[in-house]
Structure 1
């Protein structure tokens, strides 16, 4: 069985913004003196970096008999056909075409996605929308894993 693993890391520009947040915190504390200002810069960068790192640490994996997407673990037997979504179609499925019951692993900074039908009759979730930089590869791995 083929394996697949992808980490949806935050874009580089977000890391630059963490530095700007740190500088802003330092400027806010500047009237209190140089040490509080330095503490504000360091603390702001650390806190903003932790937020960006946590948001960008989500992974999509195909392991054993499951699709693991973020905190969700979906058995391969419950998955139907996968539809590769290019940028325009992905935008439509995360906005006006979206079903509120769907599982959405959404990262707006990733333009492409994969929409996978959920076929389990006891699960009210109609599909899983997965932001991914490699939707074709993920679809191929899911198709191969379901065929086994």
Structure 2
């Protein structure tokens, strides 16, 4: 593999989620500060801020990466030699692929705040997963990296000896 086939992307939550979470915690503080002593209100608010940050960081923590011939998506991993065609999907195609056209056996790493995605066909006969569907901020770059990392020179044919 060359450096051009390396790819890395974190599916972090958008800034607006942090703003909305902060506004929610501020509303909580306003409701609590009038009902309980101020030190307790600040303690409750501190716990709420920590919980909000932990949830947003955890939900936005998955990384999609391609290096050393291995595609990783969150905790899942697959060798590129087991992968077929990769296709960048626009928002409408991604919505259909995750909805009405979805296969229940597919591996999905989707985030609602990422409208585009990549579908990667799995060609390993021992793997029941037909494809991976991955949310991506840069689907074309991921597809290009997968194509560059592909070890396939020619499609496999019957046994030759």
Does the pair score TM above 0.5?
A: yes
Alpha-carbon distance, 1:51 to partner: 0.2
Report whether the alignment pairs 1:19 with 2:17: no
Q: Does the residue aligned with 2:64 lie in a helix, a strand or coil? A: strand
Residue 58 (structure 2) aligned to one of 54, 57, 60: 54
State the shift of 1:29 in Å.
Answer: 3.2
CA distances 1:62-111 after superposition (whole Å, capped 9, x unpaired) = 01020011010111011000011001000111111111100000011001
Contact 2:11 2:62 survives alignment (8 Å): yes
1:33-112 residue pairs with structure 2 within 5 A?
A: 33-112=37-116
SS of the equivalent of 1:139 reads helix
Q: Per-residue deviation at 1:28?
A: 4.7
1:21 Cα deviation (Å)?
3.2
**What is the rounded CA distance, in whole Å, between the counterparts of 2:43 and 2:143 in structure 1?**
47
CA distance in 2, matches of 1:130, 1:94: 10
Distance 1:126 1:94 in 2: 14
Q: Secondary structure at the match of 2:150?
A: helix
CA distance in 2, matches of 1:28, 1:101: 46
Contact 1:22 1:42 in 2 (8 A): no
For 1:132, the equivalent position in structure 2 comes to 136
CA distance in 1 between partners of 2:137 and 2:32 (Å):
40
Task: Calculate the TM-score normalised by the size of structure 2.
Answer: 0.87
Mapping 1:112-127, distance limit 5 Å: 112-127=116-131
Normalised to the residue count of structure 1, the TM-score between the two structures is 0.94
Q: Could you say what secondary structure the match of 1:117 adopts?
A: strand
Instruction: Work out which of the two has the higher radius of gyration on C-alpha atoms and give 1 or 2.
Output: 2
CA RMSD, Structure 1 to Structure 2 (Å): 1.3
